[in-house]
Amino acid sequence: MPLEKKTVTCQCGATYQIDKPSHWCTACGRQIFYSEGARRRHRWDTYYVWGALLSVIAFLVYIFIEMIAVPLVGRGG
Ligand SMILES: [Zn+2]
């Protein structure tokens, strides 16, 4: 859904006319947001990505333990 064009000011002072929920500031490289709601949504997206990443790492650790550590420790048992 296209947003109405809105002027937002970056923390570095650069202003942009944006019609998207977020935009990268070309002056300082920071991400600027259309609104506080868009910023919050972006934060939850970030949490979701981290959660998925941690799940993958946990799964790999589990596989590692099952495939490598258990056969080594459990030998002769
Ligand atoms: Zn900036």
User: Residue 77's pLDDT is what?
Assistant: 55
User: Residue 3's pLDDT is what?
Assistant: 83
User: Residue 22's pLDDT is what?
Assistant: 92
User: Residue 73's pLDDT is what?
Assistant: 78
N-term to C-term CA, the chain: 62
| Ligand 1 centre distance from Cα of residue 71 (Å) | 54
pTM for the whole structure: 0.63
| Ligand 1 centre distance from Cα of residue 23 (Å) | 10
Sequence spans of domains, the chain = 1-34, 37-77
Phi, psi of 17 (to 5 degrees): -95, 110
Using 70 as the pLDDT threshold, list the residues of the chain that sit under it: 1, 75-77
Task: Assign residue 29 a region (left: φ > 0; alpha: ψ between -120 and 50; beta: otherwise).
Answer: left
